[in-house]
Amino acid sequence: MNTRLAAATLALCALALPARAADAPKLDVFAGYSFLKFAEESRHGWEASAAWNVFGKLGFVADLAGHYKGEFDDLSYLGGVRYALHGDKLTPFVHVLAGGLRDRSSVHVLGVTISESKTHFAWAAGGGLSYRVSDHWDARVQADYFNVKIEETNEGNPRFAAGVAYRFGRR
Protein backbone atom coordinates (compact mmCIF):
# COMPACT_ATOMS: atom_id res chain seq x y z
CA MET A 1 0.00 0.00 0.00
CA ASN A 2 2.77 2.46 0.90
CA THR A 3 4.66 1.89 -2.36
CA ARG A 4 1.52 2.40 -4.46
CA LEU A 5 0.64 5.63 -2.65
CA ALA A 6 4.17 7.00 -3.07
CA ALA A 7 4.24 6.06 -6.77
CA ALA A 8 0.85 7.67 -7.41
CA THR A 9 1.89 10.87 -5.63
CA LEU A 10 5.13 11.09 -7.62
CA ALA A 11 3.25 10.49 -10.86
CA LEU A 12 0.82 13.32 -10.06
CA CYS A 13 3.72 15.66 -9.32
CA ALA A 14 5.44 14.70 -12.59
CA LEU A 15 2.27 15.44 -14.57
CA ALA A 16 2.17 18.98 -13.19
CA LEU A 17 5.78 19.81 -14.12
CA PRO A 18 5.01 20.75 -17.75
CA ALA A 19 2.19 23.04 -16.65
CA ARG A 20 2.90 26.75 -16.43
CA ALA A 21 3.59 27.63 -12.81
CA ALA A 22 0.87 29.59 -11.05
CA ASP A 23 1.13 31.74 -7.99
CA ALA A 24 0.57 29.89 -4.76
CA PRO A 25 -2.25 31.12 -2.53
CA LYS A 26 -1.12 32.61 0.78
CA LEU A 27 -3.55 30.32 2.59
CA ASP A 28 -5.93 27.55 1.61
CA VAL A 29 -8.60 26.01 3.81
CA PHE A 30 -9.97 22.53 3.06
CA ALA A 31 -13.09 20.75 4.36
CA GLY A 32 -14.63 17.48 3.30
CA TYR A 33 -15.66 13.88 3.83
CA SER A 34 -13.05 11.46 5.19
CA PHE A 35 -12.76 7.67 5.38
CA LEU A 36 -10.35 5.87 7.72
CA LYS A 37 -9.67 2.16 8.04
CA PHE A 38 -8.81 1.82 11.75
CA ALA A 39 -8.30 -1.40 13.70
CA GLU A 40 -9.94 -3.45 10.91
CA GLU A 41 -13.03 -1.22 10.99
CA SER A 42 -14.23 1.32 8.45
CA ARG A 43 -14.87 4.72 10.01
CA HIS A 44 -16.52 7.64 8.24
CA GLY A 45 -16.25 11.29 9.19
CA TRP A 46 -14.82 14.66 8.25
CA GLU A 47 -11.45 16.29 7.68
CA ALA A 48 -10.44 19.95 7.70
CA SER A 49 -7.06 21.57 7.14
CA ALA A 50 -5.41 24.93 6.64
CA ALA A 51 -2.16 25.38 4.71
CA TRP A 52 -0.04 28.52 4.92
CA ASN A 53 2.16 28.64 1.83
CA VAL A 54 5.18 30.44 3.26
CA PHE A 55 7.80 29.65 0.61
CA GLY A 56 5.71 29.24 -2.57
CA LYS A 57 5.91 25.47 -3.05
CA LEU A 58 6.58 24.71 0.62
CA GLY A 59 4.04 25.44 3.32
CA PHE A 60 2.88 24.54 6.81
CA VAL A 61 -0.31 22.53 7.38
CA ALA A 62 -2.67 22.07 10.35
CA ASP A 63 -5.05 19.11 9.96
CA LEU A 64 -8.06 18.04 12.07
CA ALA A 65 -10.21 14.97 11.40
CA GLY A 66 -12.98 13.09 13.16
CA HIS A 67 -14.10 9.52 12.37
CA TYR A 68 -16.99 7.54 13.85
CA LYS A 69 -18.20 3.93 14.14
CA GLY A 70 -20.97 3.10 16.62
CA GLU A 71 -19.69 3.70 20.16
CA PHE A 72 -16.17 4.43 18.89
CA ASP A 73 -14.87 7.75 17.64
CA ASP A 74 -11.53 9.40 17.15
CA LEU A 75 -10.22 12.92 16.71
CA SER A 76 -6.82 13.49 15.13
CA TYR A 77 -4.89 16.74 15.26
CA LEU A 78 -1.77 16.89 13.12
CA GLY A 79 0.63 19.51 11.84
CA GLY A 80 3.47 19.42 9.36
CA VAL A 81 4.76 20.48 5.97
CA ARG A 82 3.34 20.32 2.44
CA TYR A 83 5.19 20.53 -0.88
CA ALA A 84 2.88 21.61 -3.74
CA LEU A 85 3.39 22.22 -7.44
CA HIS A 86 0.90 25.02 -8.13
CA GLY A 87 -0.35 24.89 -11.73
CA ASP A 88 -3.01 26.86 -13.55
CA LYS A 89 -5.66 24.18 -12.98
CA LEU A 90 -3.97 21.28 -11.15
CA THR A 91 -2.02 21.36 -7.91
CA PRO A 92 -0.53 18.03 -6.84
CA PHE A 93 0.98 17.97 -3.36
CA VAL A 94 2.66 15.73 -0.81
CA HIS A 95 2.61 16.18 2.95
CA VAL A 96 4.14 14.82 6.15
CA LEU A 97 2.20 15.39 9.37
CA ALA A 98 2.62 14.47 13.05
CA GLY A 99 0.55 14.99 16.19
CA GLY A 100 -1.99 13.04 18.17
CA LEU A 101 -5.13 10.93 18.03
CA ARG A 102 -7.72 10.88 20.79
CA ASP A 103 -9.60 7.57 20.61
CA ARG A 104 -12.82 7.28 22.63
CA SER A 105 -15.20 4.41 23.29
CA SER A 106 -18.56 4.70 25.05
CA VAL A 107 -21.08 2.33 26.58
CA HIS A 108 -24.71 3.22 27.34
CA VAL A 109 -26.18 1.41 30.38
CA LEU A 110 -29.62 2.25 31.84
CA GLY A 111 -29.54 5.79 30.47
CA VAL A 112 -25.99 6.43 31.67
CA THR A 113 -23.08 6.88 29.28
CA ILE A 114 -19.66 5.67 30.36
CA SER A 115 -16.75 6.82 28.18
CA GLU A 116 -13.05 6.15 28.13
CA SER A 117 -10.58 8.04 25.98
CA LYS A 118 -6.88 7.73 25.34
CA THR A 119 -4.49 9.92 23.40
CA HIS A 120 -1.81 8.39 21.18
CA PHE A 121 1.02 9.69 18.99
CA ALA A 122 0.02 9.74 15.30
CA TRP A 123 1.60 10.67 11.98
CA ALA A 124 0.53 10.68 8.35
CA ALA A 125 2.35 10.83 5.01
CA GLY A 126 0.66 11.15 1.65
CA GLY A 127 -0.61 13.65 -0.83
CA GLY A 128 -3.38 14.71 -3.09
CA LEU A 129 -4.58 16.70 -6.04
CA SER A 130 -6.51 19.98 -6.16
CA TYR A 131 -8.40 21.02 -9.29
CA ARG A 132 -9.19 24.74 -9.58
CA VAL A 133 -12.86 25.32 -10.42
CA SER A 134 -12.83 29.12 -9.95
CA ASP A 135 -10.52 31.90 -8.76
CA HIS A 136 -10.94 30.91 -5.12
CA TRP A 137 -12.41 27.38 -5.10
CA ASP A 138 -10.72 24.00 -5.66
CA ALA A 139 -12.09 20.45 -5.68
CA ARG A 140 -9.65 18.22 -3.82
CA VAL A 141 -8.93 14.54 -3.23
CA GLN A 142 -6.20 13.31 -0.93
CA ALA A 143 -4.93 10.10 0.62
CA ASP A 144 -2.32 9.22 3.18
CA TYR A 145 -0.88 6.44 5.29
CA PHE A 146 -2.13 7.21 8.80
CA ASN A 147 -0.11 5.62 11.61
CA VAL A 148 -1.02 5.52 15.32
CA LYS A 149 1.25 4.25 18.10
CA ILE A 150 -0.97 2.36 20.55
CA GLU A 151 1.05 1.15 23.54
CA GLU A 152 3.94 -0.82 22.00
CA THR A 153 2.40 -1.39 18.56
CA ASN A 154 1.98 0.78 15.48
CA GLU A 155 -1.39 0.68 13.73
CA GLY A 156 -1.00 1.83 10.10
CA ASN A 157 -4.07 2.48 7.99
CA PRO A 158 -5.18 4.23 4.80
CA ARG A 159 -7.08 7.51 5.12
CA PHE A 160 -8.90 9.20 2.22
CA ALA A 161 -10.64 12.57 1.93
CA ALA A 162 -12.57 14.47 -0.74
CA GLY A 163 -13.97 17.98 -0.52
CA VAL A 164 -13.45 21.63 -1.38
CA ALA A 165 -10.69 24.12 -0.64
CA TYR A 166 -10.95 27.91 -0.55
CA ARG A 167 -7.86 29.88 -1.61
CA PHE A 168 -6.96 33.22 0.06
CA GLY A 169 -4.66 35.74 -1.65
CA ARG A 170 -1.57 35.14 -3.77
CA ARG A 171 2.11 34.91 -2.86
| Model confidence pLDDT, tens digit, residues 62-91 | 999 999 888 788 899 999 999 999 998 999
pLDDT at 107 over 80: no
- Specify the CATH number of the domain 2-168: 2.40.160.20
Beta partners for 139? Answer: 131, 164
At residue 22, the pLDDT reads: 63
Cβ(154)–Cβ(146) below 8 Å:
no
Q: Coil, strand or helix: which one is 4?
A: helix
Q: Quick one: DSSP state of residue 25?
A: P
**pLDDT tens digit sequence for 36-53:** 987 778 999 999 999 999
At residue 67, the pLDDT reads: 92
At residue 20, the pLDDT reads: 42
CA gap 170, 25 in Å, rounded: 4
Provide the pLDDT confidence category of residue 10 given band limits of 50, 70 and 90.
low
Q: What residue spans define the domains of the chain?
A: 2-168
pTM of the model: 0.79
Who contacts 92 (Cβ-Cβ below 8 Å, separation ≥6)? Answer: 9, 12, 13, 15, 16, 84, 85, 127, 128, 129, 130
pLDDT at 16 over 80: no
| Across 91-95, 112-116, 157-161, least confident range | 112-116
